[in-house]
Amino acid sequence: MKMELKCKVQNYDWGKLGRESTVAKLVSSAHPNEIIEESKPYAELWMGTHPNGPSLIIDRGVLLSEYIRDNLDAIGPTVRKNFGVSVPFLLKVLSIRKALSVQAHPTKEHAETLHKRFPDMYKDPNHKPELAIALTPFEALCGFRLLAQIKEYLRRLPELTSVLNSENVEELLSLEEPVDSNALKQVFQSLMTSNKAAITNSLQSLLARLEKEDPFVQQSLHYPLLKRLHKDFPGDVGCFAPYFLNYLELNPGQAIFLKPNLPHAYISGDCVECMACSDNVVRAGLTPKHIDVPTLVEMLDYNSYTKEHLLFSPQLEDPNSCIWRPPVPDFAVVKIMVQSGGSYNTINRPSPSLILVTSGSGEICDTEPIRARPGTVIFLKASRQLTITPEDGSHIEIYQAISNV
């Protein structure tokens, strides 16, 4: 039974344009009749049952969510017991041209409270932990820096401290690791609630000064990044985020796990992303969307992280597959690579799967063969297997999202 899916493209303004976008390339490869507009942003490809971007089973002409309701075996008893009749995760591809908002995602309990109090803003009661796996060189801000680094920036950037509460800054500068999270919270709150005109002036002053500095100083004070952020979001308080949050450059195949309350912002690049089936985001900068500074400041994880702490590594399952297992039951992600001349049977799992081909070509077979090419998306029922066979001279690379049960 063929279960190939047609999936929803989201054309958010921050997406890469036309065929520069991995999203557009995948869609064009899987559906050659789709017209790609070179001036249009192709930001996200959504795979799953979320009502804002539901997937369609091509051969049946029905939504995946409808099929599941009528075929309970597709979910399997283990996932049904934990999550009901649903696919509890959402698989995406993101293609980022300019930064996404400085944001964090609430815990399950906090999400339920926010949804109850502000249903128009927080539209579901679920948490939204995320895993991002780089497909191309990928930039992100993630987690608060070590205190020593934040203190160094505060000492070297009078333009930044001019908009902060001086008593809060002095208190933070007097501390040693491990940082008193309340002291850092006070400084960050002081930044995020600063007068907009003062932020605009301080950013312009800082950019003017750094422009005249030598390349080493510019690099050490993130001038190239600051300049890019300010170009896309002039006068935005989020432009100061790199001085508080770790700046990460991921190579293809590297991943970060974004647990609840961890501040982050994607900056550029393409990635596979998997998350709990939710759209709950609390934003505070680098966005034209609604921001909720009081909620964000209260909920954030103010612990310090190193870059090494933030990288999330997979475990090898067999010679063809590795798995990223976050500490949540909602999802895990498997990467499968099958080289030319070989064939591979996927591991039988108690969860339904969403399967995305990211490169290569060949055949994927359950009971009926499906031609595999970049952009092919398949739904696999719980406790079923697929046989993956590359064409001669090719390979097949696949990302498989499952429940972590």
Torsion over CA: 313, 314, 315, 320 (sign): negative
| CA distance readout (Å), 280 to 86, 126, 237, 351 | 18, 7, 22, 24
How far apart are alpha carbons 40 and 271 in whole angstroms?
Answer: 19
Q: Is the pLDDT of residue 369 over 80?
A: yes
Q: Is the pLDDT of residue 358 over 80?
A: yes
For residue 53, the SS3 value is: coil
Q: How confident is the model at residue 232 (pLDDT cuts 50, 70, 90)?
A: very high
Percent of the chain with pLDDT over 90: 87
Task: Kindly state the average pLDDT of the residues 84-94.
Answer: 95
The per-residue b/e assignment along 236-254, b for 16 or more CB within 10 angstroms, e otherwise, is bbbbbbbbbbbbbebeeeb
Task: Kindly state the average pLDDT of the residues 56-70.
Answer: 96
Q: Checking DSSP bridges between strand 369-372 and strand 362-365, what pairing results, if any?
A: antiparallel
Q: Is the pLDDT of residue 180 over 70?
A: no
What distance lies between CA 141 and its chain's CA centroid?
Answer: 11
pLDDT at residue 123 in the model:
80
For residue 279, the SS3 value is: coil
The helix (run of H) or strand (run of E) holding residue 291 is none
Q: How confident is the model at residue 104 (pLDDT cuts 50, 70, 90)?
A: very high
Q: Is the pLDDT of residue 183 over 80?
A: yes
Domains 7-142+249-295+302-310 and 315-402 share a fold: yes
pLDDT at residue 178 in the model:
63
For residues 280 and 31, the model is more confident at 31
**Residue 274 contacts by C-beta under 8 Å, 6 or more apart in sequence?**
89, 90, 91, 92, 130, 131, 331, 333, 401
Contact 256, 248 (CB under 8 A): yes
pLDDT at residue 366 in the model:
86
pLDDT at residue 127 in the model:
84
How far apart are alpha carbons 343 and 346 in whole angstroms?
Answer: 10
How far apart are alpha carbons 388 and 339 in whole angstroms?
Answer: 10
CATH code at 146-243: 1.10.441.10
pLDDT tens by residue, 372-381:
999 999 999 9
- Structure letter (DSSP) for residue 4: B
Task: Kindly state the average pLDDT of the residues 192-203.
Answer: 96
For residues 2 and 165, the model is more confident at 165
Task: Kindly state the average pLDDT of the residues 304-326.
Answer: 96
Task: Kindly state the average pLDDT of the residues 12-37.
Answer: 97
For residues 175 and 15, the model is more confident at 15
For residues 123 and 199, the model is more confident at 199
The CATH number of 7-142+249-295+302-310 is which of 1.10.238.10, 2.60.120.10, 3.30.390.10, 3.40.630.10?
2.60.120.10
Q: Which two tokens stand for residue 370?
A: 């499906």
Q: How confident is the model at residue 286 (pLDDT cuts 50, 70, 90)?
A: confident
pLDDT at residue 367 in the model:
81
Q: Which of 283, 349, 373, 384 is catalytic?
A: 283
Q: Is the pLDDT of residue 227 over 70?
A: yes
Residue whose tokens read 């009078």: 158
283 is catalytic: yes
Task: Kindly state the average pLDDT of the residues 325-345.
Answer: 96
Domain ranges of the chain: 7-142+249-295+302-310, 146-243, 315-402
pLDDT at residue 402 in the model:
98
CB atoms under 10 Å from CB of 176, counted, come to 9
- 277 phi and psi, to 5 degrees? -75, 85
Q: Which two tokens stand for residue 302?
A: 């103010």
For residues 362 and 181, the model is more confident at 362
pLDDT tens by residue, 257-267:
999 999 999 99
pLDDT at residue 368 in the model:
85
Homologous superfamily (CATH) for 315-402: Jelly Rolls (2.60.120.10)
Q: Is the pLDDT of residue 111 over 80?
A: yes
Torsion over CA: 248, 252, 253, 257 (sign): positive
- Structure letter (DSSP) for residue 64: H
Contact 265, 238 (CB under 8 A): yes
Q: Is the pLDDT of residue 119 over 90?
A: no
Q: What is the mean pLDDT of the chain?
A: 95
pLDDT at residue 352 in the model:
96
pLDDT at residue 290 in the model:
82
Q: How confident is the model at residue 176 (pLDDT cuts 50, 70, 90)?
A: confident
Q: How confident is the model at residue 141 (pLDDT cuts 50, 70, 90)?
A: very high
Nearest to 251 by CA among 135, 140, 92: 135
Q: Is the pLDDT of residue 1 over 80?
A: no
- 177 phi and psi, to 5 degrees? -65, 150
Q: How confident is the model at residue 277 (pLDDT cuts 50, 70, 90)?
A: confident
Nearest to 36 by CA among 16, 7, 61, 57: 16
Residue whose tokens read 């109090």: 117
